[in-house]
């Protein structure tokens, strides 16, 4: 899609080596109020926004499919807005992501007022972000995998994380509400973060906020951190 407005449709990516419900390539495309399924493939994507600036994905129900790695939404774009969607990671055999955003350049991706669920792969992520992002007013859930679940995984770039409800998910091993890795941190403010429901075995942990190393300039203010269950439970924990 390039500079198109697409609204009130149903999409299914089908089956194959790689499948996509909707593929956006261009500058100002809009995908709105549609039902989008990624299909069944080794790598499957409900919505894939590639090299796009200022696209809009709004009011959709987006679901990753079955296969090896499943993605509700996948963005390599800058300045795009994802708002008012329900995005679910699907049932990948290895990993599932409600949303995955990578890019590294300004302007920020804006992710606002969505329900984002990690899906049910062994390793599941609500929102995996490797790009500057504004993340606000979302409900983000880590999923129900069997190895590890993450609500929000922020890797390498500062993001503004404000006014969200974040849940690490339910997992037979460990769960994380927010996981930070090598981040020059933007503000984390006014969020309610539940580390999730982890397992009861040795070392199984529920962690609301985890710093995996390399954090600088933290601005963590006015949040509520707590956990639901697990052998080990931490509101905030650093690497080591």
pLDDT tens-digit readout, 205-227: 999 999 876 666 668 899 999 99
Share of residues in the chain with pLDDT > 70 (%):
92
pLDDT above 90: residue 3 = no
- For residue 218 the two structure tokens come to 């933290």
Q: List CB contacts of 5: < 8 A, sequence separation 6 or more.
A: 29, 30, 32
- For residue 193 the two structure tokens come to 């973060």
pLDDT recorded at residue 214: 62
- 64-108 pLDDT, tens digit per residue, is 999 899 999 999 987 899 999 999 999 999 999 999 999 866 668
* Structure letter (DSSP) for residue 86: E
pTM: 0.94
Q: In what order do the strands lie in the sheet with 40-50?
A: 15-25, 40-50, 66-75, 91-102, 123-130, 148-155, 174-181, 205-211, 232-238
Q: Looking at residues 135-148, what average pLDDT do you find?
A: 95
- For residue 93 the two structure tokens come to 């055999």
């Amino acid at each position: 899609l390039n500079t198109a407005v697409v609204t009130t449709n149903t999409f299914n990516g089908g089956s194959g080596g790689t499948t996509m419900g909707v593929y956006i390539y261009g500058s100002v495309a809009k995908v709105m109020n549609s039902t989008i399924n990624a299909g069944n493939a080794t790598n499957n994507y409900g919505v894939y926004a590639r090299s796009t600036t200022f696209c809009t994905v709004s009011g959709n129900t987006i679901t990753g499919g079955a296969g090896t790695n499943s993605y509700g939404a996948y963005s390599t774009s800058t300045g795009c807005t994802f708002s008012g969607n329900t995005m679910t990671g699907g049932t990948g055999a290895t990993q599932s992501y409600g949303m995955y955003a990578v890019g590294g350049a300004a302007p920020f991706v804006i992710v606002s007022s969505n329900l984002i669920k990690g899906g049910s792969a062994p390793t599941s992520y609500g929102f995996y972000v490797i790009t500057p992002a504004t993340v606000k007013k979302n409900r983000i859930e880590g999923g129900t995998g069997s190895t590890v679940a993450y609500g929000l995984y922020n890797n390498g770039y500062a993001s503004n994380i404000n006014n969200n409800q974040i849940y690490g998910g339910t997992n037979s091993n460990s769960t994380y509400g927010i996981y930070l890795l090598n981040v020059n941190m933007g503000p984390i403010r006014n969020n309610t973060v539940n580390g999730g429901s982890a397992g009861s075995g040795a070392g199984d942990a529920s962690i609301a906020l985890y710093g995996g190393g390399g954090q600088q300039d933290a601005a963590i203010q006015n949040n509520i951190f707590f956990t639901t269950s697990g052998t080990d439970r931490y509101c905030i924990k650093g690497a080591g």
